[in-house]
Amino acid sequence: MRAGTTNGLDIYVVCHDASDFPGKYTCRCQTIYHGGGNIGGSEISLEVLVADRIEPIRAEMRRRGLYRLPRFANDDPVIVECWL
């Protein structure tokens, strides 16, 4: 996952206890596209960061110069936070 490498808005979604990584923290990049043939489309990266604790994922997001957004009340319960 490399920040700023797509032609859309990259949102890094941090989850806890997702069905494919029970008991773990994960981070995946979801790209929201604009313009061209992908108007309103999105894509989720196949690459995933996995950790036992959230701190290493947060450290990596800060290292990339991203900013943390807390989860919203209507988010899926596995979502912990997002980074832009």
DSSP category for residue 15: E
Q: Which of 2, 6, 7, 12 is nearest to 84 (CA)?
A: 12
- Give the phi and the psi of residue 22 in degrees, each rounded to 5: -60, 135
| CA atoms within 13 A of residue 14's CA, in its CB half-sphere | 23
Q: Tell me the mean pLDDT per 10 residues along the chain, length 84.
A: 65 96 97 69 91 98 97 96 98
Q: What is the pLDDT of residue 73?
A: 94
Q: What is the pLDDT of residue 26?
A: 98
Q: What is the pLDDT of residue 42?
A: 85
The distance between the two most distant Cα atoms of the chain, rounded to a whole number of Å, is: 39
Q: What is the pLDDT of residue 34?
A: 73
Q: How far apart are CA 58 and CA 62, in angstroms?
A: 6
